[in-house]
Structures are given as C-alpha cells and as structure tokens.
Structure 1
Amino acid sequence: MKIEIWSDVACPWCFIGKRRFEAALAAFPHRDAVDVTWRSYQLDPGLPGHYDGTELDYLSTRKGMAPEQVSQMFEHVALQAKGEGLNYRFDTVVVANSFTAHRLIHLAAAHGKQDAAKERLLSDHFEHGKDIGSREYLAALGRDLGLPETAVEELFTTDKYADDVRADAAEARALGISGVPFFVIDRKFGLSGAQPVETFSAALDQAWQDANPLVLVNAGDGDACGPEGCSV
C-alpha cells in the first residue's frame, strides 16, 4: 500500500499530522506492507530566501492577519502540538524559504533517509529555532544524516532536485490539493489536514480492504454454523 504525503517543513500542522499518522500506522496490522513517500509542497514559494522579521510579523504583514489573531492561532496550534509530544516555540521560528530544504529531503530519499530528514527539519524549525534556509544548517543536517558531502554541496552549486520539488507541486495542483498536510493512499483515498489518529486508522483499514478484498470460493458448499444453529 503506497501513501504519499504532501507537506511543507514550514507548516506547523504538518508536524502534528505526521505524529498522528505515525501513531495510526504503528497500530496498523499491515504496517510492514505500507510504503510512505513525502512529497514537496510550499505554502509560500515566493518567500525570499530569508524574511527579516518574526513569524508573527510575517503572518501579520505578508498574510494580512491581525497580530491578535496570529497570537491566538499560535496558542491553539502550540497546545495541539503539545498533545502530540511536540514543543513548539513560535517566538524563535526563523522565517525562510523552504525550497532548498525540500531538495535536501529528495536527496535524503535517494539514500533511504527521507523520513529522518523530514523529522529533523520540522523539529529544528518549530522546536529549536534553526534556520532551514541556511546553507550552513542544511550542510550540517546532511552530515548528521550521513548523506554524501559532495551530494549535499550540489544543492548549493546546482539545481539538483529542483525539478523534483516542482514536479511534486505540479502533481498536487493536478490532484486538487490546496492545503497541507494532505495524505493520499493508493491514489484512491485522500485525507486533508492533521486528522485525529482514529480517522487515519479508519482510512488505513478501508484502503487495505479495498486493495485486498476477501474472495469466497465455493461459499455455499460447506457445512457451517449460523445464528439459527449448525448444519446437520
């Protein structure tokens, strides 16, 4: 069963959704048969490499939200994150364009480290105030993940994996995805947002049953028991 997840490392609900999905997947009896792929999505692809201001400033000025509304949103999202064991610190978030970070995730995928890269980027951005647009930070993360140093360097000297990031974004548009996180199961089932664990579990069960229907062979020929008794 293939699950594709469109998400942005600059999206607070994407980290919360990741945790809830992981909880559902951990309890799924057929989890070893599930292949998870992270797809790139940018909430603000036109954002400069770095934004000179806080996350509150960014949302207030660039998105046109009232500061009081932004503060209330931060409180609500941080509380939801805490429920998933995450410690969001919006006061230390560094606002930066996530394009190169997404390219790093594609590089990590080529070396079997995609989920680890996604996890670190989300955690470092929302919990530790790291600059996800910084060359120094991304290079250090590449080393931590054990990625080839020359391959990480190519992210800053070439456009390697840029087409992959754009292709993910184009595919999202083709599928009608306009917000993240968005979960697609076997290209048949879609779930939008950081759904409760129970919703993810129900979707996994339904998708598995759809892909593996029970086939009855000679169902009417064998002796059996039912509510009214047994065959004689």
Structure 2
Amino acid sequence: MSGSINLSQVRTARWLPGLLLMLLFSLSACQPVQAPAASAIPAFTIAVSDDAVSAPEVVPGGIVRVTIQNNSSIPMDIGLARVLEGSTSEEVIALAQGGEEAFIPLLTKASFLPSVNPVDPGAERWFYVDLRTGVFVVDAAEHVEGMPGAGALHLNAVFSADEIVGVTEPVADVAVDMVNFAYAMPDEIQAGPQLWQFTNSGEQWHMMFVVDLAEGAGV
C-alpha cells in the first residue's frame, strides 16, 4: 500500500532491501551538563496545533537552538528538512505526500535534519543544529510506528535562514563521528542528561538512528 512520507520517520522502501537509513538524532529532551550562556546561541520555536504549524518566516542562520512544541491533541512526529539548491519547498512537500515510490526523488530535493518523534500533546523537545543558511520545511503528522498510511494528514511550514548569526558551539558531553557508515564514539556512556554531538567526517551522506533496547534484548 502506498502511503505518504513523514520527514521525521524516514523508513526503508520494500523495493530497496538492505538499505539501512539512519535518522540523525539529538537528545533534544535533555539539558546539557555544561550549557553555554543563554544569550550565546540564537533560539526560535516551532509550534504545532491540530491544524497548523507555526514558525518564524526568517530565523537566525548558523548554530541555533530549536524548540518544538506540540500544542495539538495527539502525539506528533515532527521533522525538519533543508531544501536543496535548485529545488523548491513546494516540491519537497509534494514528494513527502507521494508514498514509497517518491522516497528516492525526495532525497534529491531535501536533506534531512534532526527530528523528534513522538512528541506527546502539551510536550516540547529541543535540539541544537547548524542550519547554516537556506530554505527549510517543517513536516508534522500524527505519530505512527512505521510509514504513515495513505491519506495521512501532514501539516507543513516553510522558513528561511538568510544570515549566519549563531557561531557559538554548545559544549557536548558525547561526540559521535560518522565516517562512511562507521561510528567513532565512546564504548561506555554515563547515565543521565547529556548533549550529544554528531559529525559526518566521511564522503557519503549520513544518517543515524538511536534506539533504547527493551530489557533482555540484544543488538
């Protein structure tokens, strides 16, 4: 069955076996152990209601703190994507509605940024990201496990970052270096709130997905 593509829930298509797509993830709900001064990093908020996504038309470029608020009545999956040069936000939004066959074309039009899912009603999440400059799409849909079904309602907003403002890097507790599908990171990580930094030092486009294993489960 063909369904729409939620930018916050990128999944492998059935016709592309063996492709493991990893979703870039930051521990957005956690307060960093060593937070930079509040005024050092620009911030803005994206709010989702039952029928709309609200975001500033223009946001600071560079390193920013993004807060996602779910003011709707249902759990939501909310993702961001950068519109690639030569493409338009209208094309990205249309392809996100296009089902599994539109997945590869979508990758030629947009670059996925951090996402948060699910976000419960009344909850908020946040993360740091280096937006640089460009045009961005917000995609929000009701939380589901797996690919949203055909006809799933997507709410969208478009914003731009025209000028580099944020140049202060937050202090990370854990650094993960992604090098051509290998991961350089500590073997052991302390429990508790942390800020993770993900860097792609390889030559290939990279994504990463972090999961919490159920008790008794193995890798």
Question: Which interval holds the TM-score relative to the shorter structure?
Answer: under 0.3
Q: TM-score, normalised by structure 2?
A: 0.26
Looking at secondary structure, tell me which structure has more helix per residue. 1
Report the structure number with the largest CA radius of gyration: 1
